[in-house]
Structure 1
Amino acid sequence: DIQYRIRCASFAFGRLNHHVFDNHNIRTRTKLLVYKAVVIPTLLYGCEAWVTYRNHLKSLECHHQCYLQKILDIKWVDRRTNASVLIDANTTSIEAMIIQHQLQWTGHCVLMPDVHLPKQLLYSQLSQGQRTRGGQRKRFKDTLKANIKKCGIDIINWEKLARDRATWRLTPLSSLHVRA
């Protein structure tokens, strides 16, 4: 699914490349706004439910950096760090965006009535089944727990915090760090 999203975003970027991103008559700020309005949502569509591994984040971040460097007209010989490119583009890393989307969706699920399917899936447990041999695949709950820890949110009382919508909206955004 993630590779498909990368292909879709590359296609969207390519379609806009000649008319927007390569056009010298359009300001860089406008190009970045178009990028954030078209390419980023295409790239991150459905990311609320993704179980992201390190290689997925690395691939997404690589494409994000390539697009930003193209828009900002940064060549590889300029030897710029990823963090400086993010600062120049006034944006955050893909990992930070994904964490933000996942925490917003989880907060939304916590506020749902118990009869709604997303909330039932979030809190469900398998009653039967066996573990497969070898290393276990990550679950969404594992990703969610790691993201909550990255944001400095108390892992025990996060649901209570999520029930206060105003506080929950501010908490993930204020404590996310830009990592490239």
Structure 2
Amino acid sequence: MKTILTNKHISIETRKRALQCYIEPVLMYGCETWTISKQIQNKLEATEMWFLRRMLRIPWTAKKTNERVLNEANKRRSLVRTIRKRQATFLGHVIRRGKLEHLVTTGKFERKRSRGRQKEKIMDGLVTWLGPGKVSDTLAAVKDRDLWRDMIANAYKQGT
């Protein structure tokens, strides 16, 4: 795909579309089950910017800010927001189904907690992305499908 994405004879819009159609799905394979920490989020954003810089043929030695590159490409960062949206949609399916996956996702297994700082769960990341609230409020919102879709759409629009 390098020859297509860096070809100057193809418009930038077509190259962005190729990136979105062929590369991002491979990159996001299985993202519904990822736990996105701040470190992983930074790596995903860096990857997104790396693709844009390659498409625009901006060398890594050029002192251009990410905002300037985004303006040049006429694009907003969307990779992390898309992943969060897919996670929230998947969570809705899992919670409404109410089977074993529900217990695993919400962490309601009876067991002894391990020592040290507890690992971040998928629910923790989604609750902070969707806005202020508790896990119990989020789980209650999942039951109402229309409310859940509105919450996801609002969080996606805000770009958090």
User: If the length of structure 2 is used for normalisation, what is the TM-score?
Assistant: 0.79
Unaligned runs of 5+ in 1: 1-15
Alpha carbons of 1:173 and 1:147: their partners in 2 closer, same or farther (altered >3 Å)? Answer: same
1:122 to 90, 100, 105: 105
Alpha-carbon deviation of 1:89?
A: 4.3
Alpha-carbon deviation of 1:37?
A: 1.0
Q: Which residue number corresponds to residue 123 of structure 2? A: 141
| In 2, Cα distance between equivalents of 1:49 and 1:86 | 32
Q: Which residue number corresponds to residue 55 of structure 2? A: 71
Alpha-carbon deviation of 1:124?
A: 4.3
| In 2, Cα distance between equivalents of 1:169 and 1:83 | 33
Cα RMSD for the two superposed structures: 2.6
More moved, 135-144 vs 154-163: 154-163
| In 1, Cα distance between equivalents of 2:112 and 2:67 | 43
| In 1, Cα distance between equivalents of 2:68 and 2:123 | 29
Unaligned runs of 5+ in 2: none
User: If the length of structure 1 is used for normalisation, what is the TM-score?
Assistant: 0.72
| In 2, Cα distance between equivalents of 1:86 and 1:170 | 29
Aligned pairs for 1:25-174 (under 5 A) are 25-75=9-59, 77=62, 79-82=64-67, 85=70, 88-112=73-97, 114=98, 116-132=99-115, 134-149=116-131, 152=132, 154-155=133-134, 156-174=136-154
Alpha carbons of 1:78 and 1:162: their partners in 2 closer, same or farther (altered >3 Å)? Answer: same
The number of residue pairs the alignment matches comes to 157
